[in-house]
Structure 1
């Protein structure tokens, strides 16, 4: 029998020890953090349906990214720990790049994808932080930055290929859950939403009164049309401080 706890024991780069078909058979409590399981309960059927679709993709001979052990990685950190939401589009379609956190790659990945290179360029211009030679953004996730792709999987080599397969309903529920959380005392936890590009801006209506930092997408096609110079990192930290929250340490650990 498959051990549902094993999913949380896997290293981020682990791949084939768990299959999508196995994930599709698990309850939410075996797939995501405890409070995420409660928040996503209304779309549990849709999530299992998407995971079954991914299993069918693999059975048909397609490579699905990210790996089964990483496809729900964004929901491993507790929902209540989220203080920054960064919305991406869908995972990198290049094999070896997608790791389940939007814009992030494994620290061994070379070259760094161009969108992420542009993010690092803006990070340096905004905060004076030197670009890292790796693109592992897991230290951001560990601080409560939810790196969430609107569509959480892709067929290798085919950007956008899993749009309209059910992920949108799941991530709508996730974003709504982030925006409507309440502490035990009824207060609202701090939150800043970072929306890069038109796809990300489409979730604005789900965010209630949460402050938004929005700009063009960091892709090579649009970064020069408003992403560069937008200072998202300093603006986000200022908004967190206004809400009484600790700012994010955006500098990445050295290898």
Structure 2
């Protein structure tokens, strides 16, 4: 199983912290499932290089909070490895628009990232 872990592209502090997790049975099954889906010509989002984009954006020692989101996106190119976000130029799904409207309303702050990208919240690579 180590060979799968070694092929994971991930920021080094996160990779070290999650090393044993990549060998866990559920991760091995999940990886096999995704490989089968791709072999069957099914599209899987986010793309491989973007799967750990959130973790790549901020090394573990610099991380104070991790929010895990599950918001299935409706269209191609919306998922890009960051929860509550779509890439610039891509229309956000309605649930994401609602999330940012509520944040702006609660915080009374027009500097909230808006209805598309959380890049202002998640610093780092973009």
Mapped partners of 1:50, 1:136: distance in 2: 27
1:163-216, Cα deviation, whole Å (9 max, x unpaired) = xxxxxxxxxxxxxxxxxxxxxxxxxxxxxxxxxxxxxxxxxxxxxxxxxxxxxx
Q: Which of 82, 103, 106 matches 1:126?
A: 106
Q: Give the equivalent residue in structure 2 for 1:86.
A: 67
1:31-80, Cα deviation, whole Å (9 max, x unpaired) = 21111112111112244553343121111121101111111212212111
Residues 1:107 and 2:85 aligned together: no
SS of 2:23's equivalent? helix
Q: Give the equivalent residue in structure 2 for 1:72.
A: 52
**Contact 1:108 / 1:134 at 8 angstroms: preserved in 2?**
no
TM-score (norm 2): 0.77
Q: Give the equivalent residue in structure 2 for 1:237.
A: none
Which of these two proteins has the greater Rg computed from alpha carbons?
A: 1
Deviation at 1:128, TM superposition (A): 2.0
TM-score (norm 1): 0.41
Q: Give the equivalent residue in structure 2 for 1:205.
A: none
Q: Is the helix fraction higher in 1 or 2?
A: 2
**Contact 1:73 / 1:101 at 8 angstroms: preserved in 2?**
yes
**Contact 2:79 / 2:85 at 8 angstroms: preserved in 1?**
yes
Runs of 4+ in 1 over 6 A off after TM superposition: none
Q: Give the equivalent residue in structure 1 for 2:31.
A: 51
Mapped partners of 1:132, 1:73: distance in 2: 18
SS of 1:138's equivalent? coil
For structure 2, the 5+ residue unaligned runs are none
Q: 1:34 to 1:70 in 2, by over 3 A?
A: same
Residues 1:116 and 2:96 aligned together: yes
Residues 1:60 and 2:48 aligned together: no
**Contact 2:13 / 2:59 at 8 angstroms: preserved in 1?**
yes
Q: Is the strand fraction higher in 1 or 2?
A: 1
Provide the alpha-carbon RMSD of the alignment: 2.5
For structure 1, the 5+ residue unaligned runs are 1-23, 144-255
Q: 1:95 to 1:49 in 2, by over 3 A?
A: same
